[in-house]
Each structure stands twice: as C-alpha cells, then as structure tokens.
Amino acid sequence: MAPDGRFVRVIAEAVTGGVDMVQLREKDLPVRQQIALAEELRAAVAGMAVIVVNDRLDVALAAGLQGVHLGEQSLPVAAAVRTAGGRLLVGRSVHDAKSAKQAEADGASYLIAGHIFATASHPNEPPRGLQLIGDVRAAVGCALLAIGGITPANAAECIRAGADGVAVISPIMAAARPAEAARRIKEVIRAAEVRTP
C-alpha cells in the first residue's frame, strides 16, 4: 500500500526535530511511485536531511537523492559505487564484522548494523545485541548506525557501544509529535556522545 499524505508530513516534522537522514524503505511500490514519493520527500525536507532509498540505485539517481542503501542480497556495494560514480552515498546493512569489513573495503559510505534489540520488524529472529556494534566498530572506520528495537530508552547504549547514530521507525512514525520524538532521540544521542571516551 502506498504511503498516504501523513507519511511525508511526519518525515518533514521529524527532520525539523533533528533527523538528519531518511531511509525510504517502500520496496513494494512500483518504481514510478517510488520516484514520485522520493521527489516529494526531497522537496519536503528541502536539503535539511540526506535521503537514501533501499536497494534502488535507479530510483536514487532518477529522483536526485543523496544515496542508496543496500541489503545483503542487493546489488553489490562495489557495483553501486562504480555505477554511481561518486554521486551517491552507498550504505549497507550488516549483521557481522566480516560483512562490515568487506562492505567498507568495497566502498560503503556508511553501515547499518542490526537488529540490536527485539523488534516487531523481525519477530522470529533473536536480537544480535550491543556486542554486534562493538564488533563492527572494531572492524571498520566508516560511519556506523545501529538499528532494531531502538528507543529513547536504549539509544545511548548503542552510542556507548560504538555506533555513530541510530535508525528508528516506530518511535517517530507512531509519535503524536514526530518533531518532539526526534528531538528527544537526538538529545539522548548527544548526551551519550559527550560521555563516551
């Protein structure tokens, strides 16, 4: 089902609250609808946040986005980097240090490691825990985000474990006040950064 008008409004509000990267994950939409949605998001955030799209290098290029995010079964990172020719950030989902190291060697701009905590997105898979963040951080030097079951209550743990930031869905998309929810998560991250050696 295509996102409704609320979807873009919530994202725009979240960006005013401090979200600095938006990952468009609407894989089931036809390509033309993905491009239209990406263009609408790009206009709504007006340069205040980076927008990346899952898996679709063609959509990222056609919609003028800043990046593409690849899963384990997606286009190889090296191929995406080569095809994008330096025009896009290329991110990669990772689930262990070995794949993280390879993705960085292949040119990934950033990595998203997870899922860290229990999440409704992956109800039948056990969480990988904070150790995954530490293992990946020890293996790579590129930007590292944590994903999976992250809330304002546990985001600081991810930063202290070595993540540079976090990726969330429900804490913002389900919030009555998305900007306030984003601001709270950003404050938690900043406070954890100050305390992390």
Give per-residue pLDDT as tens, 11-70: 999 999 999 999 999 989 999 999 999 999 999 998 999 999 999 999 999 999 999 999
Q: Are 39 and 65 in contact (CB under 8 A)?
A: no
Domain ranges of the chain: 5-195
pTM of the model: 0.95
The whole-angstrom separation of Cα 14 and Cα 177 is: 8
Question: What is the architecture, at CATH level 2, of domain 5-195?
Answer: Alpha-Beta Barrel (3.20)
- Three-state secondary-structure class, residue 93: strand
Read off the pLDDT of residues 106-160 as tens digits, 9 standing for 90 and up. Answer: 999 999 999 999 998 888 899 999 999 999 999 999 999 999 999 999 999 999 9
Q: Are 10 and 178 in contact (CB under 8 A)?
A: yes
The whole-angstrom separation of Cα 89 and Cα 134 is: 23
The whole-angstrom separation of Cα 177 and Cα 31 is: 30
